[in-house]
Amino acid sequence: MARKTANDDPLAPVTLAVGQEDLLLDRAVQEVVAAAKAADADTDVRDLTPDQLQPGTLAELTSPSLFAERKVVVVRNAQDLSADTVKDVKAYLGSPAEEITLVLLHAGGAKGKGLLDAARKTGAREVACPKMTKPADRLAFVRGEFRSFGRSATPEACQALCDAIGSDLRELASAVSQLVADVEGTIDEAVVGRYYTGRAEASSFTVADRAVEGRTAEALEALRWSLATGVAPVMITSALAQGVRAIGKLSSARGGRPADLARELGMPPWKIDRVRQQMRGWTPDGVAVALRAVAEADAGVKGGGDDPEYALEKAVVVIARAARSRGRG
């Protein structure tokens, strides 16, 4: 979810939205526009790209109006502005016009950093819109989406939705919106399964779950379906690695309540319960064998082999066999 500075007034003279997560950037713009239109329904909104903001354009847009109209000027990809236009923007930052809100969208990298620093020095309201690359961040996003609707969803439901939909924040937000509109009461894992069965079955985490549970045939079926529906092989090796590492972490941890183990291992309590069920057939040697299989598959899908699909199938079979290593002579 986008994070904001202490100055949280969307009608501040300048809002700086920093990051590369398109959904959050768009929401930062929408928040300002909504606030401006709430103050004045006739607010004029200008949404500009760098090629549309030429030297002198900002001065024209922000010059005093005979009608004293409220205006929102949105500048996208501000890091790509020309040097002359950057000078115009910096000059404006020093003396912003009344009844006008300037929204600068900046990727946040080294390119165009001078403009970024200048906006911060003038005390611009800042909204952080970082790219959500970590599963934990996307999970927190989904939880926040449900909270924003005033609805509750179980941790298992939030995780299942992330597993089913993947990393696209727009799709995750849309899925939450659909569930909230269609389902009454608390949203649980079964509800998510009913709505997104086909996608959930194609999830890389479903492949991993079936493999670490020793269910070879089901794991291979899930693998083939995932690949057929466009799941990237590298996502599947990542899920396999996470599944096997979770088995290894929990098997070597001291006994205790799920909440205590969750803090020690950095897993949510519900996942501790799930991994405990999955690890029943595992041995330390089995974990070691499975980790080697994952490493070989990872190399295979990243160019080290001729057939990524075969590399994944081989890894799934080895992992499922390792999951049943306890009790074998």
The number of angstroms, rounded, from the C-alpha of 250 to the middle of its chain's C-alpha atoms is: 26
Average pLDDT over residues 186-215: 82
Sequence-ordered list of residues with C-beta below 8 angstroms from that of 198, at least 6 positions apart, any chain: none
What are the boundaries of each domain within the chain? 14-129, 135-196, 204-323
Instruction: Tell whether the model's pLDDT for residue 268 goes beyond 80.
Output: no
CB 160, CB 192: distance < 8 Å = yes
* 289, 322 Cβ separation under 8 angstroms: yes
Q: What tokens were used for 168? A: 């696209």
CA distance linking residue 213 with residue 246, whole number of Å: 12
Angle among Cα 165, 268, 291 to the nearest 5 degrees reads 75
Contact 48, 76 (CB under 8 A): yes
Kind of pairing, strands 100-106 and 14-19? parallel
Instruction: Write down the pLDDT at residue 198.
Output: 61
Q: What is the mean pLDDT of the chain?
A: 87
Q: Which of 132-136, 251-255, 304-308 has the lowest mean pLDDT?
A: 251-255
Residue 296: pLDDT band (50, 70, 90) is very high
Q: Distance (Å, rounded) from C-alpha 81 to C-alpha 65?
A: 26
pLDDT at 176: 93
pLDDT for res 195: 80
Does 236 have pLDDT greater than 50? Answer: yes
Q: What is the pLDDT of residue 6?
A: 45
Model confidence at 285, pLDDT cuts 50, 70, 90, reads: very high
Among the listed ranges 31-35, 165-169, 259-263, which one has the minimum average pLDDT value? 259-263
CATH topology of domain 204-323: Zinc Finger, Delta Prime; domain 3 (1.20.272)
Lowest mean pLDDT among 44-53, 205-214, 306-315, 320-329: 320-329
Question: Does residue 329 register a pLDDT over 50?
Answer: no
Domains 14-129 and 204-323 share a fold: no
Per residue in 90-138, pLDDT tens? Answer: 999 999 988 899 999 999 989 999 999 999 999 999 999 998 888 889 9
214 has a pLDDT exceeding 70: yes
Domain at 14-129, CATH from 3.40.50.300, 3.40.50.10480, 2.30.30.230, 3.30.2130.10: 3.40.50.300
User: What does the pLDDT average to over 84-91?
Assistant: 96
Closest CA to 298 of 242, 246, 234, 239: 234
Q: Which of 92, 77, 94 is nearest to 18 (CA)?
A: 77
Other residues' Cβ atoms within 10 Å of the Cβ of residue 116: 22
CATH number of the domain at 135-196, out of 1.10.8, 1.10.260, 3.30.70, 1.10.155? 1.10.8
Q: Which residue has the higher pLDDT, 259 or 234?
A: 234
Neighbours of 17 (CB within 10 A): 29
